[in-house]
Amino acid sequence: MGILDGKRILITGVLAETSIAFHVAKVAQQEGAQVVLTAYPRPSLTARIARRLPAPPPVIELDVTSATQLDTLADRIREHADGLDGVVHAIGAAPRTALGGNFLNTSWEDVATAVHTSAYSLKSLTTACLPLMKEGGAVVGLDFDASRAWPLYDWMGVAKASLESCARYLAKYVGPQGIRVNLVAAGPLETPAAKGIPGFRDVADVWTEHAPLGWDTGDPVPTARACVALLSDWFPATTGEILHVDGGAHAMGASNAKSGRT
């Protein structure tokens, strides 16, 4: 019997087998959950990837910037599940002009796209799913440490800071309904999203050097397990939290954190 036995979980962001969301879906199923996926912009691609999961789940098209699709989301989920116990927000995107050192020249239109897609969508997705959720439900979002400025991450870093604040306010407003909202801040992982970030390898090398536990950029399973744990009933009094799964790098200073390892 798994820690998600009988739970119904909606998971966004499965774009490839290397996606963190794919591994969240895989671990969730292994722990007993019924999973439903959303996909954008290519539902057929997600459906193909979904066949590699232990039990291929249904796939629903969802553009989180579309009010029409959000308005119909609950009804479309009901075609596959009679309710939801958890939602995973694994969505983040920004125009290339918002990354790569172009911070001072990025237009508001491109900044707005990044913030809408990567931060406001946490609120949009959550409120669209609320009619299906009951007390004890959980929302888990994927984050990247926004406490500092990372090279070339630019407006995506601002969007992640907005995501973190949004999660805290969501926790405040849906808490009275018994619903928890938490984020998992993973270290850099070799995902489809990472391929679009200039300088990703430089940041990953720094992480590997400074994480006292070490950090494997090719292993999303620890992050997936953390998400599944937060979706379970094992954290009934935890909300508004950012759980770091990064080998401990976030807690280290600028010196070589590995110097004490044996």
Report whether 155 contacts 98 (CB < 8 A): yes
The tally of CA atoms less than 13 A away on the side-chain side of residue 103 is 13
* Distance of alpha carbon 234 from alpha carbon 115, whole angstroms: 31
Point out the residues that are catalytic: 153, 160
Closest CA to 64 of 16, 140, 120: 120
Q: What per-residue confidence (pLDDT) applies to 254?
A: 59
DSSP 205-250: HHHHHH-TT---TT--HHHHHHHHHHHSTT-TT--S-EEEESTTGG
Please report which helix (H) or strand (E) contains residue 34, including its range. strand 34-39
Tens-place pLDDT, residues 79-115? 999 999 999 999 999 999 999 999 999 999 999 999 9
Report whether 167 contacts 196 (CB < 8 A): no
Higher-confidence position of 208 and 141: 141
Q: What per-residue confidence (pLDDT) applies to 183?
A: 98
Q: What per-residue confidence (pLDDT) applies to 198?
A: 65
pLDDT at 196 over 90: no
- pLDDT, the chain, mean: 92
Q: What per-residue confidence (pLDDT) applies to 1?
A: 85
- Give the 3-state secondary structure of residue 145: coil
Report whether 153 contacts 225 (CB < 8 A): no
Report whether 143 contacts 242 (CB < 8 A): yes
Q: What per-residue confidence (pLDDT) applies to 208?
A: 80
This prediction has a pTM of 0.93
Q: What per-residue confidence (pLDDT) applies to 227?
A: 98
Structure tokens at 99: 């990354």
Closest CA to 84 of 65, 56, 64, 60: 60
Tens-place pLDDT, residues 3-59? 999 999 999 999 999 999 999 999 999 999 999 999 998 899 999 999 999 999 999
pLDDT at 259 over 70: no
Tens-place pLDDT, residues 170-183? 999 999 999 999 99
Most distant CA atoms of the chain, gap in Å: 56
Q: How many helices (H) and strands (E) does the chain have?
A: 9, 7
Domains of the chain plus CATH, in order, are 8-251 (3.40.50.720)
91: how many CB neighbours lie within 10 A of its CB?
Answer: 24
Residue 45 burial class via C-beta count within 10 angstroms: exposed 0-12, middle 13-18, buried 19 and up: middle
DSSP 19: S
Q: What per-residue confidence (pLDDT) applies to 186?
A: 94
Mean pLDDT in residue range 165-174: 98
Is the N-terminal amide bond of 198 cis, ω within 30° of 0? no
Mean pLDDT in residue range 149-172: 95
Q: What percentage of the chain exceeds 70 in pLDDT?
A: 93
